[in-house]
Structure 1
Amino acid sequence: MSGGPLEIAGLDEVTERFDAFLIDQFGVLRDGKGPYPGAVDTLMRLKQAGKTIIILSNSGKRSAENDRRLAALGFDRTSWDWFLTSGEVAWRILQKESGQGAGGVSRKCLLVSRDGDTSPLDGLGLERTESGEDADFIMLAASEGDLHPLSFYETLLAPAARRGVPCLCTNPDKIMLTKEGTAFGAGRIAELYEELGGQVRWIGKPFADIYATAREFLGDLPPEKICCIGDSIEHDIAGAAGAGLKSILVTTGILETASDAQRQALFAEHGAMPDFILPAFTWSGR
């Protein structure tokens, strides 16, 4: 977009340009404590405007788990059409590969998740292990970086990396929002695994699989009629650009304290610039 992003005060300024919105969860609709002011109403107004809405999240949990969680926070379940997570995309990929027999998924899986969540593996017929010593496959679905230092994960994963065990990261976010602030996300643990010599397959924003799944749901809708809304230049804005879609950067979430110069540096670093910049996920700035 020549001349840089257009600054807008509310979503009502651009709603008529698009037929569908792919909206990030953390950093746009909510933080680690709950919904942002006005986010519940804004999402409903966008839906009432006749738009197709997919919540597009780098969550290692499957879609149904996130549906329930967002509704429990006070969002109206009718205000989105699908909650698509990287965990859901990965589960579907693994389900397909599991059915292929030879060359499919390894038997013992070391699952790195949060709050004891096993949904990324439920129904896949994999045996769980708690050790990198005997794992055939690693799934990085979430981080407990607010509870454990990075060295905890290094100790857990180093034996698997030495053995060349493949790893699937279903939550590429390097930073996560918690009730206490920010902490390193599952994406940082995946980077650590690569630093230890392991190989990682990445699922979620900004990678292609999650956008292909969303586009399949939207049918033959032209890409110029689809807009992505997110707070991460590395994941949301770069992902939208890679998929040929328009984008809005909200300056809440992980970039809340970033200066304009810092944002510009990130645009250059990731080779992606949003079409619009919005201070927060609000309907109108008037």
Structure 2
Amino acid sequence: MTFAQATAIEGLGEIADRYDAFLIDQFGVLRDGRGPYPGAAETLVQLKDAGKRIIILSNSGKRSAENDRRLADLGFVSGSWDWFLTSGEVAWQILKREGEGASSGTRKCLLVSRDDDQSPIAGLDLERTKSGTDADFVLLAASEGDVYPLSHYEALLAPAAARGVPCLCTNPDKVMLTKEGTAFGAGRIAELYDELGGTVRWIGKPFADIYASALEFLGQPELTRVCAIGDSIEHDIAGAANAGLHSVLVTTGILENASGEERRKLFAEHGASPDFILPKFIW
């Protein structure tokens, strides 16, 4: 498979007039595990001041409002984005609809989250269980791959996988950024569940549900007037391509140390390449 050569740009100001809306990844574009990238908050304001509609599109298992508050607490200017849409929010809405239509009683959920966060199921008619032996379904919202080895999750999830319990992964990222560097993400745990014989439903980039929600919020715009910005070829660039959108790959984040050849191999592996390559999220 061959791809058109991505155009290198030095700042978003070079292409802003081509688009009406931007879908911007959080981790790896606006911030890393330690905090905001220098100039990212200012660039977001400049993009908004240029009249663009902006959705922060994140593979976070947490709901939108919580991420929205956290970004503002980090120093990003409230109002410089229109919506913070997370895979966790999309999944919560799906689970709410399914719960309203269910005829059986309260379901038991084995929730895998970070720092014992229970917000992914708050307000839903679910009972949390910490055992795979009696769970009705598994919800993979986050990873503590910087704390526990993969074998910890194998022991936790194997009983559920053996029983054929369905799994919903609301954070497809296989690599996450932490204060110490990178670690395996919830997406890798979902892969493990599949390897153990379980079945996984994926919510988030590069899968369709989250893009459908974003485009509905934007009023179903002309797809070629929407541009996605991300640091992951597998999630951001492939997801944009699947949705019919243009894209910008920033070379911060998980591919910061990758060579051009390594990126080209990933383009081929995931069947997608960006329209533009940007060194970092700057105007």
Counterpart CA distance in 2 for 1:50 and 1:69 is: 24
Counterpart CA distance in 1 for 2:271 and 2:184 is: 23
- Does residue 91 of structure 2 align to residue 96 of structure 1? no
Contact kept in structure 2, 1:229 and 1:248, CA below 8 Å: yes
Contact kept in structure 1, 2:24 and 2:230, CA below 8 Å: yes
Counterpart CA distance in 1 for 2:192 and 2:91 is: 20
Matching residue of 1:254 = 254
Matching residue of 1:244 = 244
Contact kept in structure 2, 1:106 and 1:137, CA below 8 Å: no
Q: 1:35-91, CA deviations, whole angstroms, 9 ceiling, x for partnerless residues?
A: 001101000000000000000000000001100111110001110000000000000
Contact kept in structure 1, 2:9 and 2:278, CA below 8 Å: yes
Deviation at 1:3, TM superposition (A): 3.7
> Residues 113-152 of structure 1 correspond to what in structure 2 (within 5 A)?
113-152=113-152
Amino acid aligned to 1:116: D
Deviation at 1:274, TM superposition (A): 0.3
Matching residue of 1:4 = 5
Secondary structure at the counterpart of residue 99 of structure 1: helix
Counterpart CA distance in 2 for 1:205 and 1:228 is: 11
What fraction of aligned residue pairs are identical, expressed as a percent?
74
- Does residue 207 of structure 2 align to residue 201 of structure 1? no
Contact kept in structure 1, 2:106 and 2:125, CA below 8 Å: no
Amino acid aligned to 2:8: E
Q: Number of residues paired by the alignment?
A: 282
Secondary structure at the counterpart of residue 78 of structure 1: coil
Amino acid aligned to 1:27: G
- Does residue 206 of structure 2 align to residue 227 of structure 1? no
Query: TM-score with structure 2 length normalisation?
Result: 0.98
Amino acid aligned to 1:180: E
Q: 1:146-198, CA deviations, whole angstroms, 9 ceiling, x for partnerless residues?
A: 00000000000000000000000000000000000000000000000000000
Cα root mean square deviation, aligned: 1.2
Counterpart CA distance in 2 for 1:93 and 1:214 is: 15
Contact kept in structure 2, 1:238 and 1:271, CA below 8 Å: yes
Counterpart CA distance in 2 for 1:126 and 1:134 is: 13
Matching residue of 1:30 = 31
Q: 1:102-127, CA deviations, whole angstroms, 9 ceiling, x for partnerless residues?
A: 3x797100000011211110111100
> Residues 73-84 of structure 1 correspond to what in structure 2 (within 5 A)?
73-84=74-85
Matching residue of 2:72 = 71
Deviation at 1:220, TM superposition (A): 3.2
Counterpart CA distance in 1 for 2:96 and 2:4 is: 45
Counterpart CA distance in 1 for 2:85 and 2:113 is: 18
Distance change in 2, residues 1:51/1:105 (3 Å): farther
Contact kept in structure 2, 1:94 and 1:105, CA below 8 Å: no
Amino acid aligned to 2:14: E
Structure 1 unmatched runs, 5+: none
- Does residue 220 of structure 2 align to residue 211 of structure 1? no
Secondary structure at the counterpart of residue 152 of structure 1: helix
Amino acid aligned to 2:130: E
Matching residue of 2:14 = 13
Contact kept in structure 2, 1:21 and 1:226, CA below 8 Å: yes
Matching residue of 1:60 = 61
Query: TM-score with structure 1 length normalisation?
Result: 0.97
Amino acid aligned to 2:35: G
Contact kept in structure 2, 1:97 and 1:105, CA below 8 Å: no
Deviation at 1:2, TM superposition (A): 6.2
Distance change in 2, residues 1:113/1:173 (3 Å): same
Matching residue of 1:47 = 48
Counterpart CA distance in 1 for 2:100 and 2:110 is: 20
